[in-house]
Structure 1
Amino acid sequence: MTGRPLIGISTYLETGARWGVWELEAALLPAGYPRLVQRSGGLAVMLPPDAPERAAAVVARLDGLVIAGGPDVEPSRYGALPEPRTGPPARTRDTWELALIDAALAAGVPLLGICRGMQLLNVALGGTLVQHLDGHAEVVGVFGGHPVQPVPGTRYAEAVPEETTVPTYHHQAVDRLGAGLVASAYAADGTIEAVELPTAHWVLGVQWHPEMDDDPRLMRSLVHAATAHSPLHAKP
């Protein structure tokens, strides 16, 4: 390996962020995301929301892409009306990240969706979401944990072959799978915890938050795929 692959990570766009004497709109990303990329062997770069027509040009400069967690996907994106416990829309983020996903799928760039990112990947491929799961994200602002069982023979199971307890914070989940996606991990209650495209390049989504975990195997798998994709590492 002659260099580290460049991994882009989508960001929040929030108003009222504060640092020092300033309170301004800010593109934000919890530090766990870039730290996990870095300790897994990649170079991390933030991708704040931009015009969707620029997504292909951005993705063309990346070796891998992470769609980060965040607010609920707007239900109109999957043909549903909002339910009472669905959060307010983040339309700018939805538009940008859907464009990033489409560009990554078209270009063969390895892609990891985390929590909202997995849900958005499912929506991008025509799937739908459960808008609320009782008993999930029970304490506001505190990550929970539960075991996840991999499906043998999947890409996720290659990276993490055994049952593990994962850090989780969500109240929505995949309902109908998008075109081509298969479930590659489940919770004990049957909730789909990971999805992937088995016939494509490295495309995987997980419902939990690996950036809050000490286990780097999933991100290392993405970084390995990104290294293979990178022209810097292409064989002559």
Structure 2
Amino acid sequence: MTARPLIGISTYAEPEVSWGAWRLDAALLPAGYPRLVQRAGGLAAMLPPDAPEHAAATVARLDGLVIAGGPDVEPVHYGAEPDPRTGPPDRARDAWELALIKAALAQGVPLLGICRGMQLLNVALGGTLTQHIDGHATAPGTFTHHSIKPVPGTLYAAASPAQISVPTHHHQSVDRLGKDLSPSAHAEDGTVEAIELPPPTWTLGIQWHPEMSNDLSIMRSLVGSIRGQSCRWDGTGGRDGTP
């Protein structure tokens, strides 16, 4: 039986969360993220914020990495002043996830950025963000849908070649692309909805939320890229038994 690849997913860290009789600090992740990984054939591991210096060792024990959605990236990371509509920063999460992304890129670990994760991928590679756009989010806590069109010949188009409607909730977007990134899907209003790096490593950022749909195409592509590299976590300290 083919080993199920171990895929880490970044998480929220929230103070004083209530469940049952308890009110405690918690590491949180919407269940759609691990379910997406599991349904596509992977093992899901939550990665709550940690010291950035531990990112490289963490990534070395993974077969793939997902940077989940969440709050706005603090504009200081791309040399901008905060727009009045930009949300409050989560500095611990920014630092941790940027370190995870840089470690994954350095180690050649397949990487998927979702919503905030796509924006962080762009920022990690020197790109910038537009701090507010209209039409891609409705009321807080709800998703809207719009169509996205793949760019032919891209990694994303190979995984999902048709124009589709996707669940979305974001008010920021990619502005200047980071080093070596190219757009691989657009919304009907021209907003960049997916970005990617050229081969050999599977690296993709998407602006929408596949964990809120039944579309497994992107996660299956990620899992397939891992299996194509014969990478697996075997319990000995790293991918393919490397320390």
Residue in structure 2 matched with residue 14 of structure 1 by the alignment: 14
Residue in structure 1 matched with residue 136 of structure 2 by the alignment: 136
Comparing 19-28 and 203-212, the one that deviates more: 19-28
Equivalent AA in structure 1 for residue 142 of structure 2: V
What is the deviation of 1:3? 1.0
Query: How many residue pairs were aligned?
Result: 234
Structure 1 segment 49-198 matched on structure 2, within 5 A: 49-198=49-198
Question: SS at the partner of 2:211?
Answer: helix
Q: Take 1:200 and 1:27, find their aligned partners in 2: how far apart are those partners?
A: 33
State the Cα RMSD in Å: 1.2
Q: Take 2:200 and 2:206, find their aligned partners in 1: how far apart are those partners?
A: 17
Does the aligned pair in 2 maintain the 1:63–1:227 contact within 8 Å?
A: no
What is the deviation of 1:200? 4.0
What is the deviation of 1:16? 2.6
Q: Take 1:53 and 1:204, find their aligned partners in 2: how far apart are those partners?
A: 24
Equivalent AA in structure 1 for residue 101 of structure 2: I
**TM-score, scaled to structure 2:** 0.94
Equivalent AA in structure 2 for residue 31 of structure 1: A
**Runs (5+) with no aligned partner, structure 2:** none
Percent sequence identity is: 70
Q: Take 1:142 and 1:50, find their aligned partners in 2: how far apart are those partners?
A: 29
Q: Take 1:74 and 1:200, find their aligned partners in 2: how far apart are those partners?
A: 30
Equivalent AA in structure 2 for residue 66 of structure 1: V
After superposing on structure 2, the runs of 4+ consecutive aligned residues of structure 1 that deviate more than 4 Å are 231-234
Q: Take 1:79 and 1:199, find their aligned partners in 2: how far apart are those partners?
A: 29
Equivalent AA in structure 1 for residue 72 of structure 2: D
What is the deviation of 1:191? 0.1
Comparing 12-21 and 87-96, the one that deviates more: 12-21
Residue in structure 1 matched with residue 48 of structure 2 by the alignment: 48
**Runs (5+) with no aligned partner, structure 1:** none
Map Cα deviations across residues 147-184 of structure 1 (whole Å, 9 max, x no partner).
00000000000000010000000000000000000000
Q: Take 1:80 and 1:25, find their aligned partners in 2: how far apart are those partners?
A: 31
Q: Take 2:16 and 2:115, find their aligned partners in 1: how far apart are those partners?
A: 24
**TM-score, scaled to structure 1:** 0.96
Equivalent AA in structure 2 for residue 75 of structure 1: P
What is the deviation of 1:138? 1.7
What is the deviation of 1:135? 2.4
Does the aligned pair in 2 maintain the 1:119–1:173 contact within 8 Å?
A: yes
Residue in structure 1 matched with residue 39 of structure 2 by the alignment: 39
